[in-house]
Amino acid sequence: MSTTLAAGTSLDFTLAQQLTVIALCALTAYISHMALAVFNDGVRPFLLDFIQGRTTRSATTAVSFGLSAGFIFGLGAPMALSTGVLNPWLVFLPTDILGMLSPKKWLAPILGAAWGAVVVFGLNGANNVAHDLPVDFLTAMQQMSTPILFLFTLFPVLAITKQFGRRWGGVAGGLELVLVVMTMKLWPNMFAGALAMAAGVLMLIGLAVSKDVRQRRADRTADVVEEVPQDDPMASLFSASAARLRRYLPLFMVLGAGVCVLAQMHIFGGGEATSFLIAKGQYSEAAQVDFYRVFGFIPLIATTALASGAYGIAGFTLVYPIGYLMPNPFLAAVVGAVVFAVEVLALSWIGRILGKLPSVRDSSEHLRSAIGDTLQLAILFGSLMAANAMGGGLGILVVGGLYLLNEAMGRPVVRMAAAPAAVIVGGIVLNILYWLDLFTPLKG
């Protein structure tokens, strides 16, 4: 399977696509202003104090900006420019900030729509300018696709190893290797990691459920009775939060419809690996990848939503893979609305189920950690490959040096975003050196 994108990736959107992005950005900014949902999982726990009046809008905005800015400029923008596919860090994180920043309810959707216009009209201009430079760092950044796609395949192996030990991790690693080789040999047009990831995630879930079932049987055998306080404050909070979200069910259904339509248009990818797969037109493989990621985020999103009273802009992210596979935007809108309705109505039930499956909850934590570990290495390695493509040893020196400097300074740019940001800064530096007649771009 080819993992190289065509040079000159375009961000030229149709009118329908432009209007969809602008309208969705307006909606998500409005919902953020209402503190009903945000995309950044790290911001959501802070919203409870804001909702209950214990902190100010400006303080919450500062938290949102601090936790999101690095991902917007260091990961979201570089990924969109290098793949030609929008992503949630570029589309939804800024509307988190703008919605919370807005002092008036009517102003929030205007600010969100303005950001959407910047995305659909401004990115293509920046993309064209960058591709016309002597050192085309955006085309070089497409080198990131191979390590991201293949190393991402290993995240279930890491999760199994962390939760169930080296023996099961070794079994999972061997199984995934066999499946990757088999897929490359028998189905060369299919994403090589698709079957391997499916097997790994199913194995992790199977091990976790089996452990929880055995534990519950052991507890019943030992006559262990779980004592629940009559006035459980957390249960009361969860109930109030779920009720708050249900009151705005129609608004959430519109949000689900919008996100699903955006995914159906195939100008949007829900993750790093997904963006490259969407860019290559491998929509079913992209749906698989984002579907597997769902298992790592359902417990986090459900518990933070129940604790804070604020949901996720993309919900449990199920609307991503569903949207990729929908045949038209009208059906995507209907299905997306229904999916969000089911998610919001089922929040309390999901919270109770998760309370009875501690190993499954732990699995989601390990999955998220493993996704972060694999992508962190893949993005760093891919960024150095991009640096080599655009500047050889000097490119590696500049990009690697910027990454190491960021580490030494205490990571002012979050680690995941530091390497792509370093590629862009390194590309600008190499172009300046070219204009000073101090550097000759590599051929090819």
* 367 touches 159 (CB < 8 A): yes
- The pair phi, psi for residue 343, each rounded to 5°, is -60, -50
pLDDT for position 10: 65
Which stretches of the chain drop beneath a pLDDT of 70?
1-10, 223-237, 443-444
Q: Name the token pair of 97.
A: 């900030």
pLDDT for position 111: 97
Q: CA-CA distances (angstroms) from residue 421 to 38, 142, 397?
A: 24, 14, 15
* DSSP structural state of residue 73: I
* 79 touches 274 (CB < 8 A): no
**What one-letter code names the amino acid at 193?**
G
With residue 235 as reference, give the H or E element that holds it: helix 233-247
* DSSP structural state of residue 268: B
Decide: helix, strand or coil at residue 37. Answer: strand
Close Cβ partners of 369 (under 8 Å, ≥ 6 residues apart)? 158, 159, 162
pLDDT for position 235: 58
Q: How many other C-beta atoms can be found within 10 angstroms of the C-beta atom of residue 302?
A: 26
> How far is 382 from 141, CA to CA, in rounded Å?
8
How is 130-186 classified by DSSP, letter by letter? HHTSSS-HHHHHGGGHHHHHHHHTTHHHHHHHHHH-HHHHHHHHHHHHHHHHHHHHH
Decide: helix, strand or coil at residue 312. Answer: strand
Give residue for tokens 């690693």: 173
Q: Per DSSP, what are the bridge partners of residue 268? A: 86
**Is the pTM of the predicted complex or chain greater than 0.85?**
yes
> How far is 217 from 22, CA to CA, in rounded Å?
53
* 248 touches 343 (CB < 8 A): no
Decide: helix, strand or coil at residue 58. Answer: helix
Report which of 14, 7, 3, 108 is spatially closest to residue 61, judged by C-alpha positions.
Answer: 108
Close Cβ partners of 3 (under 8 Å, ≥ 6 residues apart)? 145, 146, 149, 150, 276, 280
pLDDT for position 8: 44
Report which of 198, 219, 156, 209 is spatially closest to residue 353, judged by C-alpha positions.
Answer: 209
Q: Name the token pair of 163.
A: 């939760």
Report which of 258, 317, 323, 328 is spatially closest to residue 291, judged by C-alpha positions.
Answer: 317
Across 108-127, b (16+ Cβ under 10 Å) vs e yields: bbebbbebbeebbeebbeeb
User: Left, alpha or beta for 410 (phi > 0: left; psi -120 to 50: alpha)?
Assistant: left
How is 80-126 classified by DSSP, letter by letter? HHHHS-B-HHHHHHHHHHHHHH-SSTTHHHHHHHHHHHIIIIIHHHH
pLDDT for position 2: 46
Q: Name the token pair of 384.
A: 């150095």
311-312 vs 37-38, strand pairing mode: parallel
Domain map of the chain by residue range?
A: 15-151+245-435, 154-219
pLDDT for position 6: 43
> How far is 220 from 210, CA to CA, in rounded Å?
16
Q: How many other C-beta atoms can be found within 10 angstroms of the C-beta atom of residue 226?
A: 7
Q: How many other C-beta atoms can be found within 10 angstroms of the C-beta atom of residue 224?
A: 11
